[in-house]
């Protein structure tokens, strides 16, 4: 079964296969820290936010990790992480 799925596909088995291959394909990208920050984004961050109910918020260190996740998935733009880490908390 293919590990990629057409977004419009309704084939549940194809979607399960693609999801099962996610971690392996992520590791194959060979980007430093991507697996760790992706785990934070998909598992730790949602739990943290749910635990802050009824008024969820994101703390500055969590926002920095979220930005690290975002930038590590795409093209590296070195100016953004220092800028995001330099803003003072209000």
Model pLDDT, residue 16? 93
Closest-CA residue to 81 (of 57, 64, 59): 64
Q: How many domains does the chain have?
A: 1
Range of the domain at 26: 12-86
pLDDT band at 37 (very low <50, low <70, confident <90, very high): very high
Distance CA 14, CA 2 (A): 7
Per-residue pLDDT tens digits for 50-62: 999 899 999 999 9
Per-residue pLDDT tens digits for 9-21: 999 999 999 999 9
Residue 23 lies in a domain: yes
Give the percent of the chain with pLDDT over 70: 79
**Cβ pair 82, 71 in contact under 8 A:** no
**Taking the mean position of all CA atoms in its chain, how far away is CA 58?**
15
């Amino acid at each position: 079964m293919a590990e990629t799925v057409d977004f419009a596909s309704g084939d549940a088995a194809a979607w399960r296969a693609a999801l099962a291959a996610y971690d392996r394909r992520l590791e194959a990208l060979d980007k430093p820290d991507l697996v760790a920050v992706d785990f934070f984004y998909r598992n730790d961050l949602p739990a943290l936010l749910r635990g802050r109910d009824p008024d969820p918020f994101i703390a500055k260190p969590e926002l920095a990790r979220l930005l690290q996740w975002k930038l590590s998935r795409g093209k590296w733009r070195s100016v953004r992480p220092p800028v995001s880490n330099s803003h003072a908390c209000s």
